[in-house]
């Protein structure tokens, strides 16, 4: 507490007493100065600046806060409650401990600010001089970044029941773009913010999430979902919303690519209000003309296989350690556990042995999980060991424990299950080899996953795809085979392996695996396309045309499928229909070289006869 500078005038009686002879103080017992009363704390001068900065963004009409905190009367009414929740650091909701690396938009109150709330309440909540009141914050109504370039809305609303616990729902939002666009920001409007705990966007470039919808446009349930991809296309951006989070504008050079035929899947965590509600979210998309020149990547560390938490265990530890194969700038971090999470810590041990804390949350609370962006990038050199250490409390002392009495808990996607995940957004730096440095990171990360769990199908498949993209076909084949030993009927793995076999000349075996892919998923465009090419390689053009017809039916806007169908028909002697498909391919893509060359040859041959 700071000392008062006010000069105190003694009453006459005390002044007279001060003229009496002084007693000698005992050695070692200095005389005590009169106690100084605490300085007056007023709303206008001391409390309003804190509330306007750290509370009002959520505690205002239309936002998630249960009551407004915009005026003296608002705050006075809840003074004792504010003292309690700030002293316990429940509010504002900021989980990380102070550390070596500052986070952007940090909401943590200082000890002095927390003490001011308590002093103000104890002194009777004085309002103070009106001249000391700062200007009330001005909030942008509607879209926070201005009118979006494109607004996409869930086709059908979701009916949230009145009760029954937390609900996770996935809205598949179709994005109407007809060519590749670059996105500088996405603003999430999840619906009624009283009901939405948080939301994430996943980029689905294959539109395969649609197959999981309970009805077209209606979405589907689930906490964690799997997005498939046929090419190396790692996640690069955190697309995250929670109450009070402002929309994030990507730095120059880090725009998000949005292709034709891409869906955005909005995963929403909903909490019932006690009465039936309707949720229909929308997204505002802001484009830029500047393509991405920097390629960040999300690295996911995890050790869910170690999650087997006995009932009543209070300090169950799960850990993971990953060695960076190249130097990176760490841009943001996102730890994730469920309701048994207790103490969450991530550290970096540099090659010289120095250890730095990246994030430490001593009192984890799933209700306030967030993406934390560093105020300045954190440089981590090659060879740095990134470690996660998560402690779980599965006892009855954990008020958030969903099981009463406590039960054994393992890993899973339900809220009663647990997770041990840590996402890092990194940007490779000082990479002196040719090629995509993200492939190096992905390969190291997948090998690390397989080392922990050789039966990890996703890691086996992803390692195979990474090795194939890196120009290592034989190593890729071994990983695809290992993945198929775990899941022999997986459509994506069979198609990828079949495509690689076709590319390396093993046509017969390629056809077998491509047929297996179509047995598992008859409407699989890529498998039909690849199987058409395989039949064409055997000069079976009638069979090839059948597969390309199926591909064109599934995706009428694919110029390659149209051109290949025209080629197969031409080889089969059906020149008139072949001509129509070449023309259709050129209508889709006027620069399609194969379609133009084959059409010219066909027309030249027809003219010669």
| Pairing mode of beta strands 181-189, 282-288 | antiparallel
Band of pLDDT at residue 30, cut at 50, 70 and 90: very low
For 497-518, b/e burial (b = at least 16 CB within 10 A) is bbbbbbeeebbeebbebbebbb
Query: CA-based angle 450:455:461, to the nearest 5?
Result: 65
The span from the CA of 174 to the CA of 434, in Å, is 36
Task: Kindly report, residue by residue over 460-480, the tens digit of the pLDDT.
Answer: 999 999 999 999 999 999 999
Band of pLDDT at residue 481, cut at 50, 70 and 90: very high
Query: CA-based angle 118:121:126, to the nearest 5?
Result: 130
Q: Give the mean model confidence (pLDDT) for residues 571-596.
A: 91
Residue 372: strand pairing partners: 333
Task: Kindly report, residue by residue over 491-520, the tens digit of the pLDDT.
Answer: 999 999 999 999 999 999 999 999 999 999
Residue 7 has pLDDT above 50, yes or no: no
Average pLDDT, the chain: 88
Residue 47 has pLDDT above 50, yes or no: yes
Q: Give the mean model confidence (pLDDT) for residues 435-460.
A: 94
Write down the pLDDT at residue 153.
Answer: 96
3-state secondary structure 67-126: CCCCCHHHHHHCHHHHHHHHHCCCCCCCCCCCCCCCECCCCCCCHHHHHHHHHHHHCCCC
Band of pLDDT at residue 195, cut at 50, 70 and 90: confident
Read off the tokens for 46.
């001391």
Residue 552 has pLDDT above 90, yes or no: yes
Band of pLDDT at residue 35, cut at 50, 70 and 90: low
Picking from 9-23, 28-42, 528-542, which range would have the lowest pLDDT averaged per residue?
9-23
Band of pLDDT at residue 206, cut at 50, 70 and 90: confident
What letter would DSSP give residue 138?
Answer: P
Write down the pLDDT at residue 421.
Answer: 95
Write down the pLDDT at residue 38.
Answer: 62
Q: Give the mean model confidence (pLDDT) for residues 18-22.
A: 31
Band of pLDDT at residue 178, cut at 50, 70 and 90: confident
330, 378 Cβ separation under 8 angstroms: yes
Write down the pLDDT at residue 208.
Answer: 83
User: Percentage of the chain surpassing pLDDT 90?
Assistant: 68
Catalogue all structural domains in the chain, each as residue range(s) with its CATH number: 43-132 (no CATH), 150-294 (2.60.120), 295-432 (2.60.120.230)
Task: Kindly report, residue by residue over 116-138, the tens digit of the pLDDT.
Answer: 999 999 999 999 999 999 998 88
What letter would DSSP give residue 53?
Answer: H
Residue 590 has pLDDT above 80, yes or no: yes
Task: Kindly report, residue by residue over 213-258, the tens digit of the pLDDT.
Answer: 999 999 999 877 777 776 777 888 988 888 777 789 999 999 999 9
Write down the pLDDT at residue 36.
Answer: 57
User: Percentage of the chain surpassing pLDDT 70?
Assistant: 92
Write down the pLDDT at residue 16.
Answer: 28
User: Is the backbone of residue 435 left (phi > 0), alpha (psi -120 to 50) or beta?
Assistant: left
Q: Give the mean model confidence (pLDDT) for residues 193-200.
A: 84
Residue 285 has pLDDT above 80, yes or no: yes
Identify which of 265, 135, 125, 249 has the alpha carbon closest to the alpha carbon of residue 184. 249
Write down the pLDDT at residue 497.
Answer: 97
Write down the pLDDT at residue 107.
Answer: 83
Residue 367 or 173, more confident: 173
Identify which of 453, 454, 426 has the alpha carbon closest to the alpha carbon of residue 440. 426
The span from the CA of 269 to the CA of 160, in Å, is 11
Band of pLDDT at residue 432, cut at 50, 70 and 90: low
Residue 164 or 330, more confident: 330
Task: Kindly report, residue by residue over 361-408, the tens digit of the pLDDT.
Answer: 999 998 888 899 999 999 999 999 999 999 999 999 999 999 999 999
């Amino acid at each position: 507490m700071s000392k008062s500078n006010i000069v105190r005038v003694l009453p006459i009686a005390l002044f007279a007493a001060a003229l009496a002879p002084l007693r000698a103080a005992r050695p070692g017992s200095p005389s005590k100065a009169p106690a100084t009363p605490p300085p007056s704390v007023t709303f206008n001068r001391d409390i309003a600046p804190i509330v306007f900065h750290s509370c009002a963004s959520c505690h205002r009409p239309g936002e998630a806060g249960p009551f407004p905190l915009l005026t003296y009367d608002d705050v006075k009414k809840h003074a004792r409650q504010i003292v309690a929740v700030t002293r316990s650091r429940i509010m504002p909701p900021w989980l990380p401990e102070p550390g070596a690396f500052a986070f952007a938009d940090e909401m943590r109150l200082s000890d002095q600010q927390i003490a001011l709330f308590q002093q103000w309440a104890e002194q009777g909540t004085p309002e103070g001089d009106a001249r000391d009141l700062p200007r009330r914050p001005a909030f942008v109504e509607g879209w926070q970044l201005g009118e979006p370039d494109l607004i996409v809305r869930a086709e059908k609303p979701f009916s949230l029941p009145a009760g029954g616990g937390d609900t996770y729902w996935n809205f598949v939002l179709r994005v109407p773009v007809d060519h590749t666009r670059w996105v500088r920001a996405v603003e999430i409007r999840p619906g009624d913010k009283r009901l939405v705990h948080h939301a994430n966007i996943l980029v689905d470039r294959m539109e395969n999430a649609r197959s999981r919808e309970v009805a077209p446009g209606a979405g589907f349930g689930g906490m964690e979902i799997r997005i498939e991809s046929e090419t190396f296309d790692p996640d690069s951006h955190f697309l995250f919303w929670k109450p009070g989070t402002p929309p994030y504008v990507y730095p120059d050079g880090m725009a998000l690519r949005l292709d034709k035929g891409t869906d955005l899947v909005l995963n929403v965590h909903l909490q019932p209000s006690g009465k039936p509600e309707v949720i229909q979210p929308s997204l505002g998309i802001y484009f830029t003309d500047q393509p991405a020149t920097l390629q960040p990547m999300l690295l996911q560390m995890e050790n869910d296989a170690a999650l087997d938490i006995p009932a009543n265990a209070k300090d169950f530890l799960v850990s993971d350690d990953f060695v960076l194969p190249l130097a990176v700038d760490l841009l943001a971090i996102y730890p994730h556990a469920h309701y048994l999470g207790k103490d969450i810590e991530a550290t970096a041990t540099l090659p010289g042995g120095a250890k730095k804390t990246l994030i430490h949350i001593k009192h984890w609370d799933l209700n306030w999980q967030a993406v934390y962006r560093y105020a300045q990038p954190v440089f981590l050199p090659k060879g740095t060991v990134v470690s996660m250490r998560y402690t779980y409390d599965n006892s009855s002392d954990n008020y958030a424990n969903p099981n009463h009495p406590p039960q054994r808990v393992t890993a899973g996607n339900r809220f009663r299950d647990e997770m041990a995940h840590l996402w890092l957004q990194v940007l490779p730096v000082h990479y002196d080899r040719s090629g995509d440095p993200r492939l190096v990171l992905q390969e190291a990360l997948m090998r690390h996953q397989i080392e922990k769990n050789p039966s990890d199908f996703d890691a086996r498949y992803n390692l195979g795809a990474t090795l194939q993209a890196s120009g290592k076909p034989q190593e890729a084949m071994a990983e695809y085979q290992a993945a198929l030993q775990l899941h022999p009927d997986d459509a994506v793995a069979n198609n990828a392996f079949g495509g690689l076999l076709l590319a390396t000349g093993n046509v017969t075996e390629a056809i077998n695996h491509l047929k297996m892919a179509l047995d598992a998923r008859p409407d699989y465009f890529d498998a039909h396309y690849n199987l058409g090419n395989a039949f064409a390689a055997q000069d079976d053009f009638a069979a090839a045309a059948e597969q390309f017809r199926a591909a064109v039916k599934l995706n009428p806007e694919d110029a390659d499928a149209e051109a290949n169908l025209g080629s197969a028909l031409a080889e089969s002697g059906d020149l008139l229909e072949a001509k129509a498909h070449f023309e259709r391919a050129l209508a889709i893509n006027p620069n399609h070289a194969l379609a133009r060359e084959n059409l010219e040859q066909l027309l030249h041959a027809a003219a010669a006869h």
